[in-house]
Amino acid sequence: MKIATFADWFGVGTIEGIRESARCGAQGVQLQAWRELNPYEITQEKIAEIKKAAAEEGQTITALCGELHEVNPGGHGLEKAEDNPRQVDYLKCVFDLAKQLDCSVVTTHIGIIPESKESLTYKALQEACEELSVYAKKIDARLAIETGPEPVTRLCEFADSIPGGRIAVNYDPANLIMVTNDDEVKGVHTAGARIVHTHAKDGIMKKYVGPEYIYGVFAEGGIEAISALVNYFAETPLGQGSVRWREYLSALKEIGYDGYLTIEREVSKDAAADIKMAVTFLKDQLTKL
């Protein structure tokens, strides 16, 4: 397994974020497909600049993050059929940008997968992901759905319902702990080879209110709305939350995962310092496996 960072959380822009990732000892970097990397507006010159910086700093671009809430503010991923033509088009453009950056994984939150497979929401999610799976197969890429809005078992059943084998999992253990109250270690064995990318994040649950409420608030208010949820969960620096890192990393090793542990620090007064500390923490944990 290798260590990566989320360039945007350094707060210094994409190019300098890539350099900061290298400085703190990471081997890769995930990028957000919005703002500087808006796939509708980015130029070939900018793409070349990013690739040059990554090559100079020895950084692999591990994945692009598709920001659906930026495309449709107040949206709910791919839950609403009427919104999906625009959302799907955006994710196809993210796939195209990823391939230009020599990357084959696009991560995103698609919304909450409902328990009922007969619900209109389930069918809307399926139809959108089927279209994306076909597109991903054409360019040899994968759409990795992030864990958290539903139990891992339900996510895996949904992924398996999409033909083509191009719907995968972006595994975030902290989301499962903070919001879903799912077992972050057991879930690794459930997801198995479907895991193509991970987020290294930590946190605690204070009070369970269910992912429908938490992700509903996030969908309507974005990352800024998390401050209204402080009574329910808290993100923490790595090693200071409830993620059982030794058991979690051992489980990833047992299923044969050899990809990236991409550090994500969404809520912090000094995210850059926490990211650097997280690199050191993960290196220490990996030496003990």
What CATH number corresponds to the domain at position 234? 3.20.20.150
Site of tokens 């903070």: 178
Strand partners, 271: none
Stated length of the chain:
289
Is the pLDDT score of 278 beyond 90?
A: yes
**Is residue 73's pLDDT more than 80?**
no
Amino acid 74: pLDDT = 64
Q: Specify the pLDDT at position 261.
A: 98
pLDDT single digits (tens) 7-63:
999 999 999 999 999 999 999 999 999 999 999 999 999 999 999 999 999 999 999
Model confidence at 75: pLDDT above 70: no
Domain extent at residue 239: 2-287
Instruction: Round the average pLDDT of the chain to a whole number and report it.
Output: 95
Question: What is the spatial distance between Cα 195 and Cα 191, in angstroms, rounded to a whole number?
Answer: 6
Q: What is the pLDDT of residues 97-139, one digit of tens each?
A: 999 999 999 999 999 999 999 999 999 999 999 999 999 999 9
Beta-carbon contacts of 102 under 8 Å, excluding residues fewer than 6 positions away, are 51, 61
Query: Average pLDDT of 151-171?
Result: 98
Model confidence over 174-190: pLDDT tens digits?
999 999 999 999 999 99
H or E element at residue 238: none
Of the candidates 141, 39, 144, the one whose C-alpha atom is nearest the C-alpha of residue 90 is: 39
Q: How many CA atoms lie within 13 A of 95 on its CB side?
A: 22
How far apart, in whole angstroms, are the C-alpha atoms of residue 271 and residue 259? 23
DSSP element (H, E) containing 106: strand 105-108
- What is the greatest pairwise CA distance in the chain? 50
67 vs 249: which has the higher pLDDT: 249
Q: Indicate if the pLDDT at residue 222 is higher than 80.
A: no
- Domains in the chain, number: 1
Of all helices (H) and strands (E), which one includes residue 197?
strand 195-200
